């Protein structure tokens, strides 16, 4: 009897198709994660994705491929032919590869589609030529990949939590009869002073802060160092001007300057940041340095789903927002595969930021804390629960914005009341401010970031600290948020900290003393509408107690007397050529001194 040792080649079946889908999804997700790591660590770019992307992305790519795999799995069961599995492999590899190429094909979508098809054809050919060799490998890789991804999903969040707990445990509990003061820096992202009743707005948007202001110092003319988030936060954290830090449109804050969190952590403080703006205050921004607890992206289903290129496209948003079958067909038949550079994220609302901070603070025991809260609700698209929308009616077309500010007002109030209940508030330096403001058709512009007009720079600033700050005081002097870091260091007696700037204490102890120049800067913005001022080049602005000077990127200048022209409708430079000459000289002199000092 002769035994034929040769076996017929494997045809493949439904399980093989599913295994190919899982393998392709895992590989696509890991490649996408590797690309982001290259951008962050080699190119030093912001990446706009969660730290959990390493396990979220393979899951989402796999989930996107499984419906397609299911169709071919059924076909492979009904039509038991080798070409079914090979055809399935081609389409699965094509979709996965094109997804990985999506972020890089804004100009050449067709080229990327062809390249992805070429890669998929070759992989499918190898499989078709040697199914006995490749099908077992795909099953093995799918199993191992799935186990790896699940393990990362379970281990990595717990490892980060364990690391934070270990760092916190290393901080000794204060046994001093008078414990060190705490610091709570509250940043209301995109809230301009002009829209707060604390600053005279007709809409009662901040009644709770109005009440807290009776125990605090309020600055009527506080100005940000930049018209947008990242450089402004960098100034608050380091005491540097926006033009002195690396934090910019695509680059994070580098390690050239020590941050307040690093200074306080080195002196035995628990440090925590609870961020809601994932565009420019998340872990990749450089702002996380020095924080033991840094809470940014949510670990949620909505965030997981956004962890792929396909689910970052405009087409995906159109499908999510579809209200009829016609909308769905329109999105599929005319796919918009463009992807915003700043990726969409699962939004974190004020109540969640507040709760995260209060839960963290409750676990500190007697340890002093330095904490930062970034609230994002007043950033477009403005968010507030319905009761605030019903309460606030603004006849100037800003009701959504005003309602969001009113919601933030209540959120801050709840945090301060809870700290008061815990007998912690009066030993806490509380600073409420914003990173920048917002425009509503002033100068024909809306939003922020691309100009240096007053309402995009003028922000709230309230400081409450009973041991060192007078109650019910208003400061009319124009000041820069650049000096907030030095003020925190001064009021908490952190005397050894090396933070530039001038403490704002002098504004209520010696009115004749000088604070830092009120300088604001913004670099030329990439890929923006040519009507935006920043499209013309870098801009500078300088303010004193009555006048606002702007130098545009094209060299043109503007000059406003904002005390008598609050919305800056009359440009004095256009009415009297040469009015800006002294201001131009002041800016040039200041920049020259800074350049010599820093060697820049």
pLDDT digits (tens, 9 = 90+) for 362-385: 999 889 999 999 999 999 999 999
User: Mean pLDDT, to the nearest integer, of 185-189?
Assistant: 98
Helices 399-421, 350-362: inter-axial angle, 10-degree rounding: 10
Which pLDDT tens digit goes with each residue over 446-497? Answer: 889 999 999 999 999 999 999 999 999 999 999 999 999 999 999 998 866 6
pLDDT at 105 over 70: no
- pLDDT band for 3, please (50, 70, 90 cuts): very low
> Residue 2 has what pLDDT?
45
Cβ neighbors of 274 (< 8 A, separation 6 or more) are 293, 295, 353, 356, 357, 360, 371, 372, 373, 374
Contact 261, 273 (CB under 8 A): yes
Residue 290 is predicted with a pLDDT of 96
pLDDT of 7: 54
pLDDT of residue 598: 64
**Nearest CA to 460 among 439, 441, 479, 442?**
479
Is residue 109 very low, low, confident or very high in pLDDT (cuts 50, 70, 90)? confident
Give the whole-angstrom CA distance, residue 164 versus residue 158: 10
Q: What percent of the chain shows pLDDT beyond 90?
A: 74
What is the pLDDT, as a whole number, of residue 106? 59
Per-residue model confidence as pLDDT tens digits over 299-324: 999 999 999 999 999 999 999 888 89
Composition of the chain by helix, strand, coil, percent to 5: 50, 15, 40
- Checking if the pLDDT of 395 tops 80, the result is no
Contact assessment for residue 212 and residue 462, using Cβ atoms and an 8 Å cutoff: yes
pLDDT at residue 549 is higher than 80: yes
Averaged confidence pLDDT in the chain: 91
Task: Render 261-326 in DSSP notation, one character per residue.
Answer: HHHHHHTT-EEEEEE--TTTSSGGGSTTTT-SEEE-S--SHHHHHTSSSGGGBHHHHHHHT--SHH
Rounded average pLDDT over 33-60: 95
**Binning pLDDT at 50, 70 and 90, where does residue 81 land?**
confident
**Higher pLDDT, residue 496 or 71:** 71
**Domains in the chain: ranges and CATH:** 14-158 (no CATH), 171-306+343-598 (3.40.720.10)
The runs of H, that is alpha helices, within 340-468 are 350-362, 386-391, 399-421, 454-457
Mean pLDDT of 171-186: 86
The pTM (predicted TM-score) of the whole model is 0.93
pLDDT interval class at 599 (50, 70, 90): low
Separation of CA 400 from chain center? 21
Residues 36, 250: Cα–Cα separation, whole Å? 13
pLDDT on residue 1: 41
| pLDDT tens per residue across span 402-434 | 999 999 999 999 999 999 999 999 999 999 999
3-class secondary-structure state, position 106: coil
> What is the C-alpha separation between 368 and 359, in angstroms, rounded?
15
User: Is residue 224 predicted with pLDDT exceeding 90?
Assistant: yes
pLDDT band at 67 (very low <50, low <70, confident <90, very high): very high
């Amino acid at each position: 009897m002769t035994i034929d040792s040769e076996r017929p080649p494997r045809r493949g079946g439904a399980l093989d198709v599913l295994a190919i889908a899982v393998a392709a999804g895992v590989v696509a997700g890991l490649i996408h994660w590797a690309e982001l790591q290259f951008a962050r660590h080699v190119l030093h770019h912001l990446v706009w994705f969660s730290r959990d992307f390493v396990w979220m992305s393979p899951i989402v790519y796999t989930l996107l491929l499984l419906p397609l795999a299911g169709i071919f799995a059924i076909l492979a069961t009904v039509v038991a032919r080798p070409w079914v599995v090979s055809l399935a492999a081609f389409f699965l590899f094509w979709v996965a590869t094109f997804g990985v190429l999506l972020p890089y094909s804004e100009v050449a979508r067709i080229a990327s589609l062809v390249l992805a098809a070429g890669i998929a054809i070759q992989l499918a050919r190898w499989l078709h030529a040697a199914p006995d060799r490749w099908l077992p490998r795909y099953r093995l890789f799918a199993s191992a990949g799935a186990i790896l991804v699940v393990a990362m999903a379970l281990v990595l969040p717990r490892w980060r939590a364990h690391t934070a707990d270990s760092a916190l445990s290393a901080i000794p509990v204060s046994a001093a009869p008078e414990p060190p003061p705490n610091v709570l820096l509250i940043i209301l992202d995109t809230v301009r002073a002009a829209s707060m009743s604390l600053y005279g707005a007709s809409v009662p948007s901040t009644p709770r802060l109005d009440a807290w202001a009776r125990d605090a110092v309020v600055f009527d003319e506080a100005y940000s160092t930049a018209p947008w988030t990242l450089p402004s936060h960098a100034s608050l954290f380091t005491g540097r001007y926006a033009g002195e830090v690396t934090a910019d449109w695509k680059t994070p804050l580098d390690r050239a300057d020590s941050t307040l969190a690093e200074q306080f952590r080195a002196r035995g403080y628990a440090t925590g940041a609870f961020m809601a703006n994932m565009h420019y205050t998340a872990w990749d921004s450089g702002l996380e340095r020095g924080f033991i607890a840094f809470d940014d992206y949510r670990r949620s289903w909505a965030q997981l789903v956004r962890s792929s290129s396909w689910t970052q496209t405009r087409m995906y948003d159109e499908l999510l927002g579809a209200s009829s079958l016609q909308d769905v067909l329109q999105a599929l038949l005319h796919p918009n595969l463009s992807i915003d550079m700043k990726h969409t994220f699962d939004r974190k609302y004020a109540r969640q930021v507040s709760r995260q901070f209060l839960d963290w603070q409750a676990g500190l025991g007697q340890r002093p804390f330095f904490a930062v809260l970034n609230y994002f609700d007043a950033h477009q698209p403005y968010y507030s629960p319905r009761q605030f929308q019903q309460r606030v009616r603004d006849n100037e077309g800003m009701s959504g914005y005003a309602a969001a500010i009113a919601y933030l007002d209540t959120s801050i109030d709840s945090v301060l009341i809870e700290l008061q209940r815990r007998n912690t508030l009066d030993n806490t330096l509380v600073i409420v401010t914003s990173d920048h403001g917002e425009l509503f058709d002033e100068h024909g512009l809306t939003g922020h970031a691309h100009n240096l007009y007053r309402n995009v720079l003028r922000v709230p600033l309230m400081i409450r600290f009973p041991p060192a700050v007078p109650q019910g005081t208003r400061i009319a002097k124009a000041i820069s948020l650049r000096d907030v870091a030095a003020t925190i260091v001064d009021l908490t007696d952190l005397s050894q900290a090396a933070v530039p700037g001038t403490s704002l204490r002098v504004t209520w102890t010696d009115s004749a003393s000088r604070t830092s120049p009120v300088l604001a800067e913004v670099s030329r913005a990439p890929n923006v509408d040519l009507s935006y001022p920043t499209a013309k080049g870098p801009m500078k602005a300088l303010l004193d107690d009555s006048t606002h000077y702007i130098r545009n990127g094209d060299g043109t200048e503007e000059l406003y007397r904002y005390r008598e022209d609050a919305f800056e409708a009359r440009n004095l430079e256009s009415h009297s050529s040469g009015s800006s000459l002294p201001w131009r000289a002041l800016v040039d002199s200041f920049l020259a001194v800074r350049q010599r000092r820093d060697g820049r």
